Amino acid sequence: MSTPTGTPRKQIILGAYLGGVNHHTLWHLPESGSQIDFSTFEHTARTAERGRFDFFFLAEGLALRERDGQVFDQDIVGRPDTFTVLASLAAVTEHLGLAATINATFNEPYELARQIVSLDHLSGGRAAWNVVTSFDAFTGANFRRGGFLDRSQRYERAAETIEVVRSLWDSWAAEDLVIDKEAGVFSRSGAGSFAHAGPQFDVGGWFGVPRAPQGHPVILQAGVSPQGRDFAAANSDAIFSPYGRFDEARAYYQDVKARAAGFGRDPDHLKILPSASFVLGATEKEAQDKARWVREEQVTGRTAQILLEQIWNRDLSAYDPDGPLPDVEPALDAPSFIAGRALTHADRPATVARLRAQAEANGWSLRQTAVEEFTRGSFVGTPTRVADALDDFVQDDGSDGFVIGSYLVPTGLDEFVDDVVPLLQERGSLRTEYTGTTLRDNLGLPTPARAGDAAVARAV
């Protein structure tokens, strides 16, 4: 163990991630269940709560992905409305945080602020908002504002969105709710009034939801560009990161924590949570074999072509999945061949060059290359080995915890909770009982102070 005895262990933060639209879920296995029925969400959330997870997490994508103008049909397709599912989950869980990935580009701050704080009230202080900033015109075609934002503008809009949302949350002080039946005073004069004028939004009026149980619901962020890192370091309580390999994870951890300090924040109040998956086995060999099988199942030949089409931005269906990587260059100026992906490959030629070098060095086929590129980040081994690896990762400051998903919906997390969680608890790295009542409490995050009356402009 890497931590010297005597030092209290860092407590591992755990989020449970139910795969939405993705190629990771092995939907063709007989034990794989519905992706949309409420029982699926209920099972996963209850399992996470049994394992004393901090929160349940849903991703978002506001348009069905398309390839060359046609909906993908090989992967899991279709997902519910996030807020609605989470509000229903609040009825069947007691402690679990409920984290909604909601785009700052395709939502209006007033409505967003109201939905999130409603969820916070309805769950007794368990709401979190994962702010994402995907921005493409393809998705924009589903919305009133239509169109899209320039890539460089999306964090400007996101930052101003958060500013407005926070001022709405702060438009009520706890003591504004007077409720004096005899005197007939429901609320203080001015409670809920707000006004904001900025480059993106010119809004004002009255906000009808009193102060959230958490003061401010928890803010998460997912994004990795320098602009995204600054945005997260300045604004968020936690980051959902894609960095699952220890070295890159630790570098990222140090980078964003330093940025947080640069914004005058306690770096401890910004939690870094990479996405992670796991495969367990009774023996090391069994686990490795199974993990290999899972990855091969996830990336069929057809899926491999499509995944690489995201990078090449052109039709690769003619290339043999078991043959070499395409010898053509990526299409840089063509319209998106694959539309609706949340993650975009900004530097296509560099990515292609990297993949070619790797494929050549390892003798990988097109499909093997896709497997390596798109299915990493797993913790594989016996429960003891996985528990050790997860714990060491956190104790050595690779992260503050993980957002964990499984290749099997909805029962995939059961194994983790039954076999790995007790080992983490034995090590003293994971709570055995919930200690706080709100998600903020459980995450060890302070409640933000309410902006004073001076900072919250009054509309009257």
Partner 1 sequence: MTTDGSLTAPQDPAHDPADDPAREPAAGHDQAPASTPIVAVALDGAGWHPAAWREPGARPEALTDAAYWVGLTQLAEAGLVDLVTFEDSFGIPVGPWDDPAADRTDRVRVRLDAELVAARVAPTTRHVGLVPVVTVTHTEPFHVAKALATLDHTSRGRAGWQVRASPSGTEARLTGRRDLPEITQEDYTSGRADEQVAERFAEAAAVVDAVRALWDSWEDDAEIRDVATRRFIDRDKVHRVDVETPWFSVRGPSITPRPPQGQPVVTALAHATVPYELAARSADVVFVTPQDDATAASILAEVRAAEERVGRTGEPLRVVADLAVVLDTNGRAGAERLARLDARAGSAAGSGWVTDARVLAGSAADVADVVEAWTALGYDGVRLRPAVLPDDLEALVTDVLPELRRRGLARTAYDAGSLRGLLRLPTDVPSRFAVV
Ligand X SMILES: Cc1cc2nc3c(=O)[nH]c(=O)nc-3n(C[C@H](O)[C@H](O)[C@H](O)COP(=O)(O)O)c2cc1C
Nearer to partner 1 by C-beta: 86 or 420?
Answer: 86
From the CB of 119, what's the least distance to ligand X, in Å? 17
Q: How many residues does the chain have?
A: 460
Site for ligand X in 249-288 (CB under 6 A): 275
Site string for partner 1, 303-322 (x = CB under 8 A): x-------------------
- The single residue among 16, 104, 209, 424 that binds partner 1, judged by CB under 8 A, is 209
- The single residue among 4, 5, 6, 111 that binds partner 1, judged by CB under 8 A, is 111
From the CB of 314, what's the least distance to ligand X, in Å? 22
- The single residue among 15, 97, 217, 228 that binds ligand X, judged by CB under 6 A, is 228
Radius of gyration for the alpha carbons in the chain, expressed in angstroms and rounded: 23
- The single residue among 85, 239, 280, 307 that binds partner 1, judged by CB under 8 A, is 85
Site for ligand X in 90-129 (CB under 6 A): 101, 103
Nearer to ligand X by C-beta: 123 or 221?
Answer: 221
Query: Is 319 annotated in some ligand binding site?
Result: no
Nearer to ligand X by C-beta: 223 or 398?
Answer: 223
The one of partner 1, ligand X, none whose footprint includes residue 333, by CB under 5 to 8 A per kind, is none
Please give the structure tokens belonging to residue 344. Answer: 């975009």
The one of ligand X, partner 1, none whose footprint includes residue 28, by CB under 5 to 8 A per kind, is partner 1
The one of partner 1, ligand X, none whose footprint includes residue 242, by CB under 5 to 8 A per kind, is ligand X
Query: Is 225 annotated in some ligand binding site?
Result: yes
Nearer to partner 1 by C-beta: 148 or 253?
Answer: 148
- The single residue among 3, 288, 300, 411 that binds partner 1, judged by CB under 8 A, is 300
Distances from the Cα of 105 to the Cα of 100, 135, 136, 200, 341, angstroms: 15, 6, 10, 11, 15
Distances from the Cα of 10 to the Cα of 108, 236, 390, 395, 419, angstroms: 38, 20, 12, 6, 21
Please give the structure tokens belonging to residue 286. Answer: 């069994």
The one of partner 1, ligand X, none whose footprint includes residue 115, by CB under 5 to 8 A per kind, is partner 1
> According to the binding rule CB under 6 A, does residue 330 interact with ligand X?
no
The one of ligand X, partner 1, none whose footprint includes residue 223, by CB under 5 to 8 A per kind, is ligand X
- Identity of residue 430: L
- The single residue among 74, 283, 432, 435 that binds partner 1, judged by CB under 8 A, is 74
Q: How far apart are CA 415 and CA 421, in angstroms?
A: 9
The one of partner 1, ligand X, none whose footprint includes residue 64, by CB under 5 to 8 A per kind, is partner 1
Task: List residues near ligand X by CB under 6 A.
Answer: 59-61, 101, 103, 132-134, 222-225, 227-228, 240-242, 275, 342-343
Residue list, annotated binding site: 101, 155, 225
